[in-house]
Amino acid sequence: MAQTQSGAEGMHSLPALLHRNATQFGDAPAYREKEFGIWQCWTWAETAAEIRALALGFLELGVEKGDHIAVIGRNRPAHYWSMVAAQMVGAVPVPLYQDSVAEEMAYVLEHCGAKYVVCGDQEQVDKVIEIQENLHQVKHILYTDKRGMRKYDHSQMNALEDIMAEGRAGHYRFDAELDRRISEITYDDTCVMLYTSGTTGKPKGVVLSNRNVIESARNSAEFDHLTRNEDILSYLPMAWVGDFIFSVGQAYWCGFCVNCPESADTMMTDLREIGPTYFFAPPRVFETQLTNVMIRMQDASALKQRMFNYFMDHAKKVGGRILDGKPVGLIDRLKYALGNVLVYGPLKDTLGYGRIRVGYTAGEAIGPEIFEFYRSLGINLKQLYGQTEATVFITVQPDGEVRADTVGVPAPDVEIRIDDKGEIYYRSPGVFVEYYKNPESTASTKDPEGWVATGDAGFIEESSGHLRIIDRAKDVGKMADGSMFAPKYVENKLKFYPDILEAVLFGNGRDRCVAFINIDLTAVGNWAERNNIAYASYQELAGHPRVLETIRSHVEEVNKSVAADEMLSGCQVHRFVVLHKELDPDDGEITRTRKVRRKFVEDKYADIIAALYDGSETVSTTTEVTYEDGRKGSISATLQIVDVPVVPVSHQKVAAE
Amino acid sequence: MLDASDDGYVTEDGRKIGGVVMEMKNITLRFGGVVAIKDISFDIRQGEIRAIIGPNGAGKSSMLNVISGFYVPQEGEVWFHGKKRPPMKPYEVARQGIARTFQNIALFEGMSVLDNVMTGRLNFMKTNIVQQAIWRGKAEAEEVENREAVEKIIDFLEIQHIRKTPVARLPYGLKKRVELARALAAEPKLLLLDEPMAGMNVEEKEDMSRFILDVNDEFGTTIALIEHDMGVVMDLSDRVVVMDYGKKIGDGTPDEVRNNQEVIDAYLGVSHD
What average pLDDT does range B76-103 have in this prediction? 88
* Residue A294, phi then psi, degrees to nearest 5: -65, -40
What average pLDDT does range B46-57 have in this prediction? 90
> Where does the pLDDT of residue A115 fall: very low under 50, low under 70, confident under 90, or very high at 90 and above?
very high
Q: Which residues of A touch B148 (CB under 8 A)?
A: 36
> Where does the pLDDT of residue A6 fall: very low under 50, low under 70, confident under 90, or very high at 90 and above?
very low
pLDDT at residue B6, as a whole number: 64
Q: Regarding predicted confidence, which is higher, A78 or A615? A: A78
Q: Regarding predicted confidence, which is higher, B167 or A568? A: B167
- pLDDT above 80 for B7: no
pLDDT at residue A653, as a whole number: 40
The residue among A159, A165, A123, A122 whose CA lies nearest residue A140 is A159
Domains and CATH numbers, chain B: 1-97+188-273 (3.40.50.300), 110-186 (no CATH)
Q: Which residues of B touch A262 (CB under 8 A)?
A: 160-161
In A, minimum Cα distance to B206 occurs at: A629
Among residues of chain B, what percentage have pLDDT more than 90? 50
pLDDT at residue A183, as a whole number: 93
pLDDT in tens, A418-447: 988 789 999 999 999 999 999 998 998 999
Buried b (16+ CB within 10 A) or exposed e, A143-182: bbbeebbeeeeeeebbebbebbebbeeebeebeeebeebb
Report how far residue B2's alpha carbon sits from residue B5's, in angstroms, rounded to the nearest whole number.
9
pLDDT at residue A307, as a whole number: 94
pLDDT in tens, A541-558: 999 999 999 999 999 999
Q: Which residues of A touch B156 (CB under 8 A)?
A: 147
pLDDT in tens, A248-289: 999 999 999 999 999 988 999 999 999 999 999 988 889 888
Strand order of the β-sheet with A190-195 is A190-195, A205-209, A434-435
Residues of chain B that touch chain A, judged by Cβ-Cβ distance less than 8 Å: 13-14, 147-148, 151-152, 154-156, 158, 160-161, 163, 210, 214, 217-218
pLDDT at residue A225, as a whole number: 95
pLDDT at residue B270, as a whole number: 67
Domains and CATH numbers, chain A: 14-209+240-251 (3.40.50.12780), 389-474 (2.30.38.10), 477-643 (3.30.300.30)
> Where does the pLDDT of residue A223 fall: very low under 50, low under 70, confident under 90, or very high at 90 and above?
very high
3-state secondary structure labels for all residues of A17-61:
HHHHHHHHCCCCEEEEEEECCEEEEEEHHHHHHHHHHHHHHHHHH
| Alpha helix ranges (H) inside A352-401 | 368-376
pLDDT in tens, A572-602: 999 999 999 999 888 888 887 778 888 899 9
What average pLDDT does range A119-140 have in this prediction? 92
CB proximity list for B83: less than 8 A, separation 6 or greater:
none
pLDDT at residue B271, as a whole number: 62
Please give the model's pTM, rounded to 2 decimal places: 0.83
pLDDT in tens, A290-325: 888 888 888 899 999 999 999 999 999 999 899 988
pLDDT in tens, B111-163: 999 999 999 998 888 888 888 888 888 889 999 999 999 999 999 999 999 99
What Cα–Cα distance (Å) separates residue A100 from each residue in A110, A211, A592, A628, B116? 15, 29, 8, 10, 36
Q: Which residues of A touch B155 (CB under 8 A)?
A: 35-36
pLDDT at residue A1, as a whole number: 38
Helix and strand element counts for chain B (H, E): 10, 12
Contact B87, B72 (CB under 8 A): yes
In A, minimum Cα distance to B149 occurs at: A36
Q: Do A147 and B148 touch (CB under 8 A)?
A: no
pLDDT at residue B273, as a whole number: 54
Q: Do A37 and B151 touch (CB under 8 A)?
A: yes
The residue among A262, A203, A238 whose CA lies nearest residue A98 is A238
Contact B249, B58 (CB under 8 A): no
Q: In whole numbers, what is the pLDDT of chain A averaged over residues?
A: 90
Residue B20 pairs in a beta bridge with: B45
Q: Which DSSP category does A596 fall into?
A: B
pLDDT at residue A9, as a whole number: 56
Q: H or E element: which one contains B226? A: strand B222-226
CB pairs under 8 A between A and B: 34
Chain-centre distance of CA B79, in angstroms? 17
| Dihedral angle computed from the Cα positions of residues A511, A513, A514 and A519, in that order, rounded to the nearest 10 degrees | 180
Chain-centre distance of CA B19, in angstroms? 18
The residue among B30, B31, B4 whose CA lies nearest residue B19 is B4
pLDDT at residue A2, as a whole number: 39
Q: In whole numbers, what is the pLDDT of chain B averaged over residues?
A: 88
Whether the CA torsion A273, A278, A281, A285 is positive or negative: it is positive
Report how far residue B121's alpha carbon sits from residue B96's, in angstroms, rounded to the nearest whole number.
14
Q: Do B214 and A37 touch (CB under 8 A)?
A: no
pLDDT in tens, A495-543: 888 889 999 999 988 999 999 999 999 889 988 988 899 898 899 999 9
- pLDDT above 70 for B190: yes
Q: Which residues of B touch A149 (CB under 8 A)?
A: none
pLDDT at residue A475, as a whole number: 82
CA–CA min distance A108, chain B (Å): 29
> Where does the pLDDT of residue B233 fall: very low under 50, low under 70, confident under 90, or very high at 90 and above?
confident
- pLDDT above 90 for A200: no
pLDDT at residue A199, as a whole number: 56
CB proximity list for B39: less than 8 A, separation 6 or greater:
B26, B27, B28, B75, B76, B247
Q: Do A151 and B163 touch (CB under 8 A)?
A: no
Report how far residue B113's alpha carbon sits from residue A201's, in angstroms, rounded to the nearest whole number.
46
Type of residue numbered A58: F
pLDDT at residue B267, as a whole number: 77
